[in-house]
């Protein structure tokens, strides 16, 4: 089934890109219980949309709290819900919008990063996130459906490393993301390029998690536990009304699904932004 009309609906609804992956393609890469057929019996296709990425002004803002508080991820989720409704009402096939949460732990219902790659919308970067060739860093949403849509398939060439990164590697033996957060100096990333391609990568997910999710559920729970165990009334009040706890509540409630507070690797990534000269 041709997916051109569905992609047009996605773009008009606010997506920047849209692609289709075959549900069977996940069998090779995704663990059991986290494949399309595990969530929707009879699944044949996965429609993936990307967008709601930070704007150039967000990257240029002098305050890091701007990036923390902007909360744009829910915008692309609304496009996913819109597509699920369209597939069922107009095409007559089952459609399941995949929520961004988890059933337990940190493992998502379905990997959006894997879905984006299988749908031909991007490739994994040295820093970890999937990068789109034209738009760089994006947020993703997915819809599993029983509709037999034509699959796009993965890209043949990776978007990372970008040409400026390859040039920097030849000069300095590093890239912008590896330099801003080097594992050898307490950061999260390391890697190696050969002939312009990444042949070795390292990502410390546990260390990154403590920085990316600073003002989020884990931080909220930690301060709450410390407050409950604090016998001094004035110290309890300081913990509850202090900046850290206040920002954690702000991130969880107002910023909705915006759980990331560290964007340093993406901020310096040439593939993620800076492709167009701004003034």
- Residues 244-255 have a mean pLDDT of 77
| pLDDT tens digit sequence for 145-179 | 999 999 998 998 888 999 999 999 999 999 999 99
Q: How far is Cα 149 from Cα 46, in angstroms, rounded to an integer?
A: 9
Name beta bridge partners: 97.
143
Q: How far is Cα 13 from Cα 7, in angstroms, rounded to an integer?
A: 10
What pLDDT does 205 receive? 85
Q: What percent of the chain has pLDDT over 70?
A: 93
Please count the other Cβ atoms lying within 10 Å of the Cβ belonging to residue 95: 23
Inform me whether the pLDDT recorded for 126 exceeds 70: yes
Domain ranges of the chain: 4-145, 214-253
**All residues at 6 or more sequence positions from 156 whose CB lies less than 8 Å from its CB, including other chains:** none
CA 267 to chain centre: 14
The pTM score is 0.85
Give residue 262's pLDDT band: very low, low, confident or very high (50, 70, 90). confident
């Amino acid at each position: 089934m041709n997916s051109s009309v569905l992609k047009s609906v996605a773009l008009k609804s606010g997506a920047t890109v849209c692609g289709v992956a075959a549900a069977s393609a996940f069998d090779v890469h995704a663990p059991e219980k986290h494949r399309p057929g595990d969530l929707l019996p009879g699944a044949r296709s996965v429609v993936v949309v990307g967008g709601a990425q930070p704007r150039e002004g967000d990257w240029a803002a002098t305050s890091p709290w701007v990036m923390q508080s902007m909360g744009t991820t829910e915008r692309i989720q609304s496009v996913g819900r819109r597509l699920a409704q369209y597939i069922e009402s107009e095409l007559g096939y089952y459609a399941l919008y995949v929520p961004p949460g988890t059933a337990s732990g940190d493992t998502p219902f379905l990997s959006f990063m894997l879905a984006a790659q299988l749908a031909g919308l991007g490739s994994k970067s040295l820093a970890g996130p999937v990068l789109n060739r034209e738009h760089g860093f994006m947020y993703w949403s997915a819809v599993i459906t029983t509709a037999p849509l034509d699959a796009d398939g993965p890209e043949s060439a990776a978007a990372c490393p970008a040409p400026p990164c390859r040039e920097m590697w030849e000069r300095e033996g590093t890239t912008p993301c590896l330099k801003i957060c080097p594992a050898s100096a307490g950061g999260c990333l390391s890697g190696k390029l050969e002939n312009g391609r990444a042949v070795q990568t390292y990502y410390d997910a546990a260390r990154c998690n403590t920085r990316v999710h600073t003002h989020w559920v884990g931080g909220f729970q930690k301060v709450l536990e410390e407050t409950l165990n604090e016998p001094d009334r004035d110290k309890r009040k300081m913990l509850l009304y202090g900046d850290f706890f206040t920002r954690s509540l702000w991130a969880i409630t107002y910023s909705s699904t915006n759980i990331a507070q560290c964007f340093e690797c993406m901020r310096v990534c040439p593939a993620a932004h800076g492709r167009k000269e701004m003034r």
